[in-house]
Amino acid sequence: MKVPIIKGKNVTLRPLVMSDAKNFCLWLADSEVTIFLQIHGEPSPTLSEEKRYIMSTKKDLSKRQFSIAVAGVHIGTLALSSISEKNKRAEFGIFIGDKKYWGQGCGTEAGKLLLHYAFQTLGLHRVYLSVIGYNIRAIKSYEKIGFRIEGRERQYFFREGHYHDKIIMGILKNEFTFKSKKYGKRK
Ligand SMILES: CC(C)(COP(=O)(O)OP(=O)(O)OC[C@H]1O[C@@H](n2cnc3c(N)ncnc32)[C@H](O)[C@@H]1OP(=O)(O)O)[C@@H](O)C(=O)NCCC(=O)NCCS
């Protein structure tokens, strides 16, 4: 499925390209990154697996996956998955693999650009996500995007000898406000 290039003030969302595979392999082999992801504890992908994954996302009608770039540098990825035309909803997922870019506002800006695309271009009504309870940075970023905590599944994950809750967050189209210097304020 063809995805567009979406430019924000500091962040650009662009289609995945094969040369992104190398960065994904590096990032998904870094436990300081994966500790925040569902895949933590699984074997990290090989370069050929990652290339196959990139190919498969392009054919997947229920998914729109982008790479996140800042000044031309590939720093991470984000996606709408499980897109349901019938129910007008999709699941949001994001990771910035280049740790230098954590905490600089890139994830929040990228998330807002993706939600604007989800609601205005794809015509979705609801976007939802799940996050492990200790990922405070992600939860803060999601709240800044406009997501609300809707519930939690208690002690869902077992990591490093402890159980952790899974937090469910969601946002509806009429709750999302998009504002950027480039485009001005709009709903
Ligand atoms: C989660 C993620 C996408 C957020 O993007 P980001 O660009 O780092 O986040 P932002 O800078 O936009 O916002 C982070 C907020 O958390 C705060 N924060 C930053 N580091 C923090 C930390 N270590 N602990 C708690 N809060 C932190 C920031 O101050 C900011 O809030 P503020 O603007 O109110 O001050 C990114 O950090 C990331 O990809 N992390 C690793 C993988 C991951 O967690 N993916 C999400 C899985 S659900």
pLDDT per residue as tens digits for the range 141-151: 999 999 999 99
* In contact, 15 and 5? CB cutoff 8 Å: yes
As given in the structure block, the two tokens for residue 62 are 């229920």
Structure confidence at residue 186 (pLDDT): 47
Nearest to 180 by CA among 136, 120, 139: 120
| Total residues belonging to the chain | 187
CA 86 – ligand 1 centroid, Å: 32
Question: pLDDT band at 6, cuts 50/70/90?
Answer: very high
Dist CA 51 CA 131 (whole Å) = 26
Q: 94 CB under 6 A from ligand 1?
A: yes
Kindly state the helix (H) or strand (E) to which residue 84 belongs, with its residue range.
strand 73-84
Beta bridge pairs of residue 84: 89
pLDDT per residue as tens digits for the range 8-35: 999 999 999 999 999 999 999 999 999 9
Structure confidence at residue 127 (pLDDT): 98
- Average pLDDT, whole number, for the chain? 95
pLDDT per residue as tens digits for the range 149-185: 999 999 999 998 999 999 999 999 999 998 765 544 4
Which domains are present in the chain?
Answer: 6-124 (3.40.630.30)
Q: Which residue is closest in CA terms to ligand 1's atom 29? A: 103
